[in-house]
Chain A
Amino acid sequence: MLRLVVIAYLVLLVAWPVSLVFTGALSDGLGPVIDTFTDPLVLRALRLTAVAVLWAVVLNTVFGVGVALLLVRRSFPGRRLLAALVDLPLAVSPVVVGLALVLVYGSRNGWLGAPLAQAGVQIVFSTPGIVLATTFIAMPLVLREVVPVLEEVGTDQEQAARSLGAGPWATFRRITLPAIRWGVVYGMVLCLARAIGEFGAVKVVSGNLIGQTQTATLSVEELYMNFDRQGAFAVAAALSSVSIVVIIIVGLLRTRMEKRRGS
């Protein structure tokens, strides 16, 4: 009984609607889909999304692994405060993130944006702003996966390596990194999915200049608003496919990590 209620709820809320993107994208055959993906504006939007996602994943992975090591393996004043602050981006509305970035990096009145603009660097309404917004909203995702894994593996192996003469870098590369590898990959995958889907923050900082600062998610809205329903569905289906592949990867990684932890 409960099983049926749950299945009905999930089908009506998630499975059925999501399946419609794919059927909707193909409702008038392949022709319009090909048109959409050969449209230079759509292609540019997809390319911009790819650039922003790449930066966000790289920056957040370096930041996440580094700060996780500091939080778990070192003691310093303000450690607990830092641990609390790193989760902040997940609690903030994307629109507020966009507003916050505009206030600091806006070319006209931004705290840092105005001096930067005078030096010839434009951030808001330009690619760097989109990268910043995408990085902001996905910031803690790698960190949060790595911290528990680091805590779990403990320091015994690292100390053993150090006692055998390995330096800090060799210890990290040969002992720590292999131990946290799956946590890092899992975090990167989550970060990737979140970054691809970012909409609100990017909408504010991009100015939504078509062909220049429009990302894939923004182009979905744009296409839909311009009554190109099938075009919107085609791009949405492309993004959804990536998401669903990502979910399956995440699922596989999770079972893999659980098995390792269980053994």
Chain B
Amino acid sequence: MTLSLVDDAARAASSTRPGGAERRGRMNARRRGTRAAPPLSVGAGLGLGAAVIWMTVLVLLPLAAVVAEAAAGGWSEAVRVLTQPQTAAAIRLTLVQAALVTVIDVVMGTAIAWVLVRDRFWGRRLIDVIIDIPFALPTVVAGLVLLALYGPQGPTPVDVANTRVAVTFALAFVTLPFVVRAVQPVLETLDRDVEDAARSLGADGLTVFGRIVLPALAPAIATGAALAFARGVAEYGSLVLISGNLAMRTEVASVRILGYIEGGDLAAAAVVATVLLAVSLAVTLLLGAIGRVGGRRG
């Protein structure tokens, strides 16, 4: 549902390419593979059963428990938790920061993907590696390294520790790869002739980007943005050290949940958790739908 949208967008975009026979053959093979899929044999049925039980025990039951715990207190309790000033401030900060970082990611992520695909210079491979670091680096280490540079003891005059800017920095770090990695493969498969055609018809560089390239990238950008936003809303580890977790100022929703858990108020934690679940689910579905509609045209 989440990352698979990247593949969908890439697939949708590449299918608008002038189809070589080889590519079409491959797509047929894919369709054949799924359409002619046989029903379950006994062994496969047992495997499916085991997988479903495992998923239920590990994922579905616990997530259901969160929603159940939140619902147990009823509406009034939920409203009371969510209107409590510190909690409301934490949720607001989370949404605003996630949205802000998503905008940054859309602009910078598209620019980075563009440079990676279209620019040729020494060190481009290195940039490709740097993009993946936030995916692989432990989140708490991400917070630590940002603090090392932009904290009170860092080598720069910038000191953002314990401010909202620190939250923006940390979220920009951990969400960096999403838009880049969604846009990059689509940009790679774009037919350069299409841009040349637009130029020969009288379009300048900006017009070509706005009217030809951007519409082709839009589904992928939307997909990457959805993933970045969902991640931003959910983020915890990278914020712990750098944001200071100051109530009403730099405390995000996940930190608030942890506060409730440590205070023993699991019901209140579950209410905030349910809100986070709902938000990331809604945004993922919404932007995913935009991506798919955009991808289907053409």
Contacts and interface: CB of A to CB of B under 8 A. Distances in A.
Direct contact of A and B (CB under 8 A): yes
A151 B34 contact: yes
A96 interface: yes
A10 B112 contact: yes
Contact of A232 (B4, B40, B144, B269): B144
Q: Place the interface of chain B in its size category.
A: 35 or more
Of the four ranges (under 10, 10 to 19, 20 to 34, 35 or more), the interface on chain A belongs to 35 or more
Contacts of A90: 2-3
Contacts, number: 273
Nearest to B253: A93
Contact of A21 (B58, B61, B148, B266): B148
A217 B140 contact: yes
A17 B174 CA distance: 13
Contacts of A193: 135-136
A248 B129 contact: yes
Contacts of A200: 139, 236-237, 254, 258
**Chain A residues touching B, majority SS:** helix
Interface string A163-207: 000001000000000000000000000100100111110011000
B44 A224 contact: no
A75 B37 CA distance: 6
A185 B99 CA distance: 34
A132 interface: yes
Given A21-B144, A105-B62, A217-B139, 11 more contacts: A6-B111, A14-B134, A17-B173, A88-B1, A88-B59, A91-B230, A135-B58, A197-B136, A199-B140, A217-B237, A221-B240
Interface of A: 2-3, 5-7, 9-10, 13-18, 20-21, 24, 63, 66-67, 69-70, 72-76, 82-105, 111-112, 132, 135-136, 139-140, 144, 147-148, 150-152, 154-156, 168, 190, 193, 196-200, 203-204, 216-217, 220-221, 224, 229, 232-233, 236, 239-240, 243-244, 246-248, 250-251
Which 9 A-B residue pairings sit nearest by Cβ, starting from the closest?
A197-B138, A93-B234, A100-B62, A199-B237, A200-B236, A154-B29, A103-B65, A17-B145, A243-B136
